[in-house]
Structure formats: C-alpha cells, structure tokens
Amino acid sequence: MTDLSSTIEARFRDALAKAFGDEHRATDPLVRLSTDERFGDYQANVAMSLAKTLGAKPRDVAASIVAALDAADLFERVEIAGPGFINLTLTNDALGRRVEAMHEDERLGVEPAPRERIVVDYSGPNVAKEMHVGHLRSTCIGDAIARVLRFLGHDVIGQNHLGDWGTQFGMLIEYLMESGGAVSREIGDLNAFYQEAKRRFDGDPEFAERARLRVVALQRGDAETLELWRTLVDASKRYFDTIYERLDIDRSLLEYRGESAYNDDLDDVIRGLDEAGLLRESEGALVVYPQGFKGRDGEPLPMIVRKRDAGYLYATTDLAAARYRLNVLGATRVIYVTDARQSQHFAMLFQTLREAGWAGPNIRLDHVPFGTILGPDRKPFKTRSGDVVRLGEVIDEAEERAYAIVAEKNPSMPEEEKRRVAHVVGVGALKYADLASERIRDYVFDWNRMLSLDGNTAPYLQNAYVRIRSIFRKADADGIAYEGFGRVKIVEEAERALALKLLQLPAVVRGVAESLEPHRLCNYLYELASAYHRFYERCPVLSADDETRRSRLRLCDVTARTLKTGLELLGIATVEQM
RNA sequence: GCCCCGAUAGCUCAGGGGAUAGAGCGUCCGCCUCCUAAGCGGAAGGUCGCAGGUUCGAAUCCUGCUCGGGGCACCA
C-alpha cells in the first residue's frame, strides 16, 4: 500500500488533470499536514497558487478540484476554507484500515527505494590517538544515516577513513622501538603514548632526526617498520572497536579503510589530474584550481595535491578515496559526515571530481556538515583543565548518571538489569542529544537535559516503549488473549491522533534519506511518543470491552514497533522495563 | 577583505511559502482505589536579530545590514 501522503497527493494529481487538463498532473498539489485540527488532517494549498496562472478565483479553482476529486473511500470531509484552502478530514475507517496494513507490514509501510550503492564516510579517528567528543557527532550521525539508507533498501558501505598514515608515524614508530616494540599496554592510554612520543620528538633533536628517517623507511615499505606500524594500527582498531561497541555503533555497516589504503593510488591521481588538464605548478607545489573559489587575496584558490617536498596531503587522499568509491565500489552516491569547518574543502573536492570527469552528473556527492558540541559556557566542550574530553569517559558518565536514575526510580530491579538499562538509557540519551537538533547548529551539552524523562529525549521515547510493553506483559499475565488482534476501530480523538501520526512514518524516513537530517526522525518519534502518552491517559486498553481492547492492543503493538524501529534507525536501543 | 553557517518564549530547541508560530525546561494551578505519575491536562510567557523587496500569502524565499561562530596555500 502506498503511504498516506503519497496517496493523497496522487488523488489530487488525478483531480488536477481531470479539472484542468492532463498537463496539470505535474503540478504539485501542495498537500501538507494541517497545522490545526480545525483545518482537518491534511490540506491541499494548490488552488491559491494555481488561480493566477488559470486566471480564475482561488475558491472557484478549489471548487473545481474538489468536484473532480475521488474522495469516496478516504475522506470524511473535504472543505474549502479561507482564500482557497482545501481541508481534508480522513474517515476513521480509512485510518483504521491503513493502521492495520501498517501493522501487517514488516517494514511498517516504508517501501524500499530503488536500490543504490551508497558509500558513507564517517567517524574517522586517528590511529594512536584516543577518541574524544569531537568524534561523537560524526560517528553517531554517520551511523544513523547509514542505518536509514540501509532500511530503505540501499546497498550501504560505511567507511572509516582512519588517519593511519602521515609524518607523525615516524615519531610514533621510533618511540615504539625505543620502548621495546610491543604495545602490550591495552590502549586505554593511547594519548599518553602519543604525548610521550611527541615529548621525545620535541625535546631531543637526535630522536627527531631518527623519526624523520623512520618516515622515509615507512614510506619505502621497510619490513620491520611496516610491522611496527601495523602493530599500532591494530592496537588502535581494537580500542576503537571497544568504543563503537559501547556506543552501539553498527559495525556491520562500518569497515575500516584508512588513508594508507590509497598510498599506491596517489601518483595516479596526480597523473589523472594532469591528463584532465587541471594540474598546475605553484611555488613548487602541484595544485588544481577548482572553479568558483577565491583566496584571501582575491586570486583563485588552489587545492594543493602535492607539497613542495613531494609529500601528499588529505586532498590527494580524498581524491583517491573518491575514485575508489566511484570506480571500484561503483557507488552512485558518496556521503561525507564531517564537521562544518571542512565545508570548503569538500566543496573544492567535489568541484575537482566533477571537472576531472571522475564524478559524472548522475553521481551525488554530499557533505553532511555538523556544528560543534559546546560546554555550558557556550564554548567548545572541554574539561576544566582545557583538555579534550575523552569519549570513553563521556560514555562512563552517561552510564553512571543513568544508573543513578534507574536505581532511584526502580530500586527493586536486579543489579545486572539495572546496569543493562543504565547502558541503554545513558548511551541512548547521549546519542539522541547529538542527533535531535538540526545538525548544522552547535549544540550545548547538558547531562540533565539529555537524561530528562520529559521532553524530546531518548529516555522519554524509551519510556513510551516500556509502557506499551508493560501492557502486553500484564495482558499475558492475566491470560488476556489478543492473537490476530482484530480490526482497528478509531473512535476517540486520542486514537485518531495516534493513528495519523503512525501513518507519517514512511514520509519521514524518506525525508531523512533525502536531507540526511536525522533530527527529523527524532522530532517524529517525539511526536509519536507524545501522541501515545495522550492515548495512554485517555484510552484504557486492558479494561475495555473485547473488541475495543483488541483494537487498542493493535494500536499499541504497531506503536511499539514504530518506536523501536525508529530508535534503531538512530542507533538507539530499547529495553522492556526501566 | 572574501566565502560559509547561525540568530524564533527567561533557558534549550522544533517549525524552512499557507490560516491565530509550537515543544520541553523553568514559574503557577490541577490529575494516581485504574495497563510504569519516568506520565497527562491547564495558565502565563513571542515586534520570529534589523531594514527593504518578491508574493494572493513570508518566521520560511531574495538583497543589504547588525551580532555570533567558522573557513580562506603545502595540517586534517
């Protein structure tokens, strides 16, 4: 079954064609959710905009559309109001039948999109460095986007573009050799290792020289050096995996493919740019000048692809990675989830890929920028001493704070269960706070707000789910039968509002895949949970008569699945009790 | 200097051509013999940064400005 908004839109396109000629099938009927219940459930606003081109009065246009509209099985009322709004009220019967169809559908009415291979580049921490809050947003937003696209049926490859190459590895490997060659220490103290190496490098010119030679050895593929490099990379991956696991990041969507994977392609990138006629030399460096960019001096802004000392940069690696994703993996869409400060870099990168002919007109390249996490002082989130906040410590605190709340609200819960719930609630709250506001904006990190049980938070949504599950536990305990559930009868206003909200899921998921804005899904789930809570207050389920009970249990069940699925798409788990 | 992003209730944020702009927190007032009150209802609170413009209609689109953040050659 086509989802509700698409169905309504299609009806209006038919009506427009019938009333004003076939060419008007292409006119957007401007079907929107009504802002006020007095204006019905949906409204079509096309009459006002069409009146001018048709040279008719808007209300007459509206009347013609309504006369041509096939409304029989769908709308209770179709009313023309104000300057020419067409207000639509769905029949309770249509709502009930659509909720039943949604309930029967494993995908909750979300139809698969035409399958595309899509690469999503996110997380991207640096080898031999600890992850910090700066990595949280890319990791959570990227994971959510990858999950949504997969749910829509796409072939999604998440790639972790690790910072696993570069001059700093000379220093790290040299220091590793000095300190015995083994990373036996299980990398909770990667930062310490990095900083010790840096201190050695800064404080001892003789060591610094050895580090520089070590870079050369690494680049020419010296076996012993490479092995130590691999030791560092592997140890770091083990550490990243522990963080990803604690954050409930879907590792089946995220493969490690660091910068080093493209080392052998970099010469060829330069050659390709040359063949495309884009390569220029400037002050000893090799650069390209993508169209439309100016520097401080008003002159064309170069993107440097090879340094004066013949070294390569992230632009080169990014070009190589993009070529790999397009040519080898066959992606038709590549999505980069990085902070907003890199916007210009990606704009230049995309422009270069277009000009080189490496990304054709049918390839979508998206930069998904996001703002900074701010502390309570509205400055970038740091510890009191001004250091970066370690991601592991943030997760610890999220779980501790959630544990304290769970223990207070539900003291009789077994200890192990409390720990599990604290994890799900704490990490869910942390991730949800990151996803819930428009991602381009900076957001203020606030433990109390994100863990609040009121408002647009993960715990509020998780609790709505828990309350539903609680009803089913009681039903099972009391031996109340509900197999097959029965028809969904919409009677009460709260049932109606809940049904309407449920049926919006497909349009919301599609919108997220298009805009790459997970906060839209958050808003939807919050509205759904609110609608459910109102239903819960006003509509007793188990104490109702059998027919009503079966109907309401079915509403409960489809709501629970929608909440659970929606939260899963955000990378957030649910629990049965909390 | 140029470019990008932001500005909506006291605070934190939704809404991004459509009717009288919403939520949570905070403040005030109500609601548990009843499926989790981790909930619900109500009240109070807004020149949607400023000024123009486009439009039947602008918080939403355009231009300029103010304020804040970010970027602008060998780091990523």
A203 with A185, same domain? yes
Residue A341 lies in a domain: no
A430 with A462, same domain? no
CATH number for the domain including A41?
Answer: 3.30.1360.70
- Give the per-residue pLDDT at A186: 53
A561 with A515, same domain? yes
Q: CB < 7 Å to strand B — which of 187-216 in chain A?
A: none
> Where does a domain end: A33, A66, A90?
A90
- Give the per-residue pLDDT at A435: 97
- pLDDT, one tens digit per residue, over A165-194 is 988 899 999 988 887 766 555 555 677 888
A478 with A558, same domain? yes
CA of A83: nearest nucleotide by C1' is B56
CA–C1' A138–B50 (A): 35
State the ipTM, two decimals.
0.96
State mean pLDDT over A286-308. 93
Q: Where are the alpha helices (DSSP H) in A294-342?
A: 314-323
- Give the per-residue pLDDT at A178: 84
**A38 CB-contact burial (10 Å; exposed 0-12 / middle 13-18 / buried 19+):** exposed
A441 with A468, same domain? no
Task: Calculate ∠ Cα A400-A527-A395, nearest 5°.
Answer: 20
Residue A252 CB closer than 7 angstroms to strand B? no
Please determine, for residue A372, whether its predicted confidence score (pLDDT) is greater than 70. yes
Backbone φ and ψ of A87, nearest 5°:
-95, 130
- Give the per-residue pLDDT at A1: 65
Under 8 Å between Cβ of A224 and A128: no
Q: pLDDT tier at A261 (50, 70, 90 boundaries)?
A: very high
CA–C1' A440–B68 (A): 15
Residue A30 CB closer than 7 angstroms to strand B? yes
Q: CB < 7 Å to strand B — which of 52-111 in chain A?
A: 52, 58, 81-83, 85, 87
- Rounded Cα distance between A459 and A136, Å, is 19
A436 with A472, same domain? no
Residue A325 lies in a domain: no
Instruction: Give the dihedral sign, CA A199/A205/A207/A208.
Output: positive
CATH number for the domain including A484?
Answer: 1.10.730.10
- Give the per-residue pLDDT at A415: 94
- Give the per-residue pLDDT at A307: 95
Q: Residue A449 to residues A400, A420, A458, A460, A466: CA-CA distances in angstroms?
A: 15, 21, 10, 11, 20
Q: Residue A550 to residues A295, A489, A514, A546: CA-CA distances in angstroms?
A: 67, 9, 37, 6
Torsion angle in degrees (nearest 10) through CA of A525, A416, A472, A462: -10
Domain that holds residue A419: 391-450
- Give the per-residue pLDDT at A450: 95
A446 with A526, same domain? no
- Rounded Cα distance between A74 and A93, Å, is 8
Residue A226 CB closer than 7 angstroms to strand B? no
- With distances taken from each CA to the C1' atom of nucleotide B74, the closest residue turns out to be A307
Please determine, for residue A105, whether its predicted confidence score (pLDDT) is greater than 90. yes
A430 with A468, same domain? no
A547 with A485, same domain? yes
- Rounded Cα distance between A45 and A65, Å, is 11
In chain A, the number of structural domains is 4
Under 8 Å between Cβ of A502 and A528: yes
CA of A347: nearest nucleotide by C1' is B4
Residue A307 lies in a domain: no
> Where does a domain end: A90, A113, A129?
A90
- Give the per-residue pLDDT at A53: 86
CA–C1' A534–B16 (A): 28
Q: Which residues of A397-433 are buried (b: 16+ CB within 10 A; e: fewer)?
A: ebbebbbebbeeeeeebeeeebebbbbbbbbbbbbbb
Q: CB < 7 Å to strand B — which of 386-405 in chain A?
A: 405
A476 with A557, same domain? yes
CA–C1' A402–B28 (A): 30
- Rounded Cα distance between A567 and A247, Å, is 14
The mean pLDDT of chain A is: 94
CA–C1' A399–B7 (A): 34
Residue A113 CB closer than 7 angstroms to strand B? no
Instruction: Give the dihedral sign, CA A298/A304/A310/A313.
Output: positive
Residue A376 CB closer than 7 angstroms to strand B? no
Residue A425 CB closer than 7 angstroms to strand B? yes
Please determine, for residue A387, whether its predicted confidence score (pLDDT) is greater than 90. no
Residue A504 lies in a domain: yes
Residue A370 lies in a domain: no
A469 with A563, same domain? yes
Residue A177 lies in a domain: yes
Positions of chain B reached by protein Cβ under 7 A: 1-7, 12-20, 22-26, 34-41, 55-57, 69-76
* Whole-prediction pTM: 0.96
Residue A83 lies in a domain: yes
A13 with A67, same domain? yes
CA–C1' A61–B56 (A): 14
Residue A416 lies in a domain: yes
> Where does a domain end: A239, A266, A287?
A239
